[in-house]
Amino acid sequence: MQEKSYKLFKNATVEEIVEVLDVELQTRNESPFWTQRVVPFSRAIISVLVPLRDEKMLFNPEGMAVDELTPELFLKWSDFVSLKTLAFTIQKSNEAGELLRTKLDSSICHRYKAIDLIFLGEYLSQNSVDMEKESLDFPISSYNLHQGVSNVIKSLL
């Protein structure tokens, strides 16, 4: 990973991160098939991770507290199963008014402020994830596609 990627994820806004990824993607001359997927996928993830970062409530897919938003944490959440879990965790946390399903200290979880799920929810819905029923699975083709998208993103960082 490039040093500038660490600085970007540590301090930048959602829009700044997405813009850097988009510009980098354009300079790589990637196939349009991938370019149409990387930016919305990145925005979906970052739109949740940046608010968690700003509130010092970051956690990894295993629910453990994480101090900084890094490219590695971003890539962990880019796994499609993990991303679906993140969406439902935030959805349930928004409803409860506290951060759920993590191993963060309860005093931290009680400070939780609702996070807008518009980008993540839309993205997952467009990719065959039922946002009403967490137990429903999605097509394996969606998972495989997103492994490819994650690989393109990794090459950008």
| Span 92-141, pLDDT tens digits | 999 999 999 999 999 999 999 999 999 999 998 888 776 676 666 766 66
Pull the structure tokens for residue 88.
Answer: 């439902």
Domain total of the chain = 1
Helix (H, G, I), strand (E, B) or coil at 103: coil
Residue type, 136: L
Q: Which residues of 85-121 are buried (b: 16+ CB within 10 A; e: fewer)?
A: bbbbbbbebbeeeebbebebeeebbeebeebebebbb
**Residues 30-86: tens digit of each pLDDT:** 888 888 899 999 999 999 999 999 999 999 999 999 999 999 999 999 998 899 999
Q: Which domain holds residue 23?
A: 3-156
